Structure 1
Protein backbone atom coordinates (compact mmCIF):
# COMPACT_ATOMS: atom_id res chain seq x y z
CA UNK A 1 0.00 0.00 0.00
CA UNK A 2 1.81 3.09 -1.20
CA UNK A 3 0.69 6.58 -0.14
CA UNK A 4 0.93 7.68 -3.76
CA UNK A 5 -1.55 5.05 -4.90
CA UNK A 6 -3.89 5.93 -2.04
CA UNK A 7 -3.87 9.64 -2.82
CA UNK A 8 -4.30 8.83 -6.50
CA UNK A 9 -7.50 6.92 -5.76
CA UNK A 10 -8.90 9.71 -3.58
CA UNK A 11 -7.92 12.43 -6.04
CA UNK A 12 -8.83 10.62 -9.27
CA UNK A 13 -11.30 7.79 -8.67
CA UNK A 14 -12.05 7.83 -12.40
CA UNK A 15 -8.55 6.61 -13.22
CA UNK A 16 -8.80 3.53 -11.04
CA UNK A 17 -5.61 3.07 -9.00
CA UNK A 18 -6.05 -0.68 -9.47
CA UNK A 19 -5.24 -0.36 -13.17
CA UNK A 20 -3.11 2.78 -12.98
CA UNK A 21 0.41 2.43 -11.63
CA UNK A 22 2.42 5.02 -9.70
CA UNK A 23 3.60 6.32 -13.07
CA UNK A 24 0.07 7.46 -13.84
CA UNK A 25 -0.75 10.67 -11.99
CA UNK A 26 -3.99 12.59 -11.65
CA UNK A 27 -2.67 14.99 -14.29
CA UNK A 28 -2.57 12.10 -16.74
CA UNK A 29 -6.23 11.39 -16.01
CA UNK A 30 -7.11 14.95 -16.92
CA UNK A 31 -9.32 15.11 -13.84
Structure 2
Protein backbone atom coordinates (compact mmCIF):
# COMPACT_ATOMS: atom_id res chain seq x y z
CA UNK A 1 0.00 0.00 0.00
CA UNK A 2 2.81 2.38 0.89
CA UNK A 3 4.49 1.70 -2.44
CA UNK A 4 1.26 2.42 -4.30
CA UNK A 5 0.77 5.70 -2.45
CA UNK A 6 4.37 6.69 -3.12
CA UNK A 7 3.96 5.95 -6.83
CA UNK A 8 0.73 7.94 -6.98
CA UNK A 9 2.30 10.86 -5.13
CA UNK A 10 5.20 10.93 -7.58
CA UNK A 11 2.98 10.63 -10.64
CA UNK A 12 0.46 13.19 -9.43
CA UNK A 13 3.17 15.63 -8.36
CA UNK A 14 4.67 15.45 -11.84
CA UNK A 15 1.25 15.98 -13.39
CA UNK A 16 0.63 18.93 -11.06
CA UNK A 17 -2.63 17.56 -9.68
CA UNK A 18 -3.58 17.71 -5.98
CA UNK A 19 -1.97 14.58 -4.52
CA UNK A 20 -4.41 14.64 -1.60
CA UNK A 21 -7.45 13.97 -3.79
CA UNK A 22 -5.67 11.26 -5.74
CA UNK A 23 -4.27 9.62 -2.61
CA UNK A 24 -7.68 9.59 -0.90
CA UNK A 25 -9.37 8.19 -4.00
CA UNK A 26 -6.75 5.48 -4.34
CA UNK A 27 -7.09 4.60 -0.66
CA UNK A 28 -10.86 4.31 -1.01
CA UNK A 29 -10.53 2.17 -4.13
CA UNK A 30 -7.88 -0.11 -2.65
CA UNK A 31 -9.71 -0.20 0.68
TM range (shorter): 0.3 to 0.5
TM-score, normalising length from structure 1? Answer: 0.40
TM-score (norm 2): 0.40
Structure number with greater CO (CA < 8 Å, separation at least 6) is 1
Q: In proportion to residue count, which structure has more helix?
A: 2
